Amino acid sequence: MLFTGCSHAGVVNASKHAVELGAGAPLFAVLGGFHLADAQSEKLQATVHDLKALEAQVLLAGHCTGWRAKFAIERDLPGRLMPSFVGSKFVF
pLDDT tens-digit readout, 8-56: 879 999 999 999 999 989 999 999 999 999 999 999 999 999 999 999 9
As a residue count, the chain comes to: 92
CB atoms within 10 A of CB 57: 13
Q: Which pLDDT score is estimated for 71?
A: 96
The larger pLDDT score, comparing residue 71 to residue 9, is at 71
- If pLDDT is split at 50, 70 and 90, which confidence band does 85 have? confident
- If pLDDT is split at 50, 70 and 90, which confidence band does 86 have? confident
DSSP alpha helices (H): ranges in 1-92?
A: 11-21, 41-54, 67-76
Distance of CA 88 to the CA centre of its chain: 17
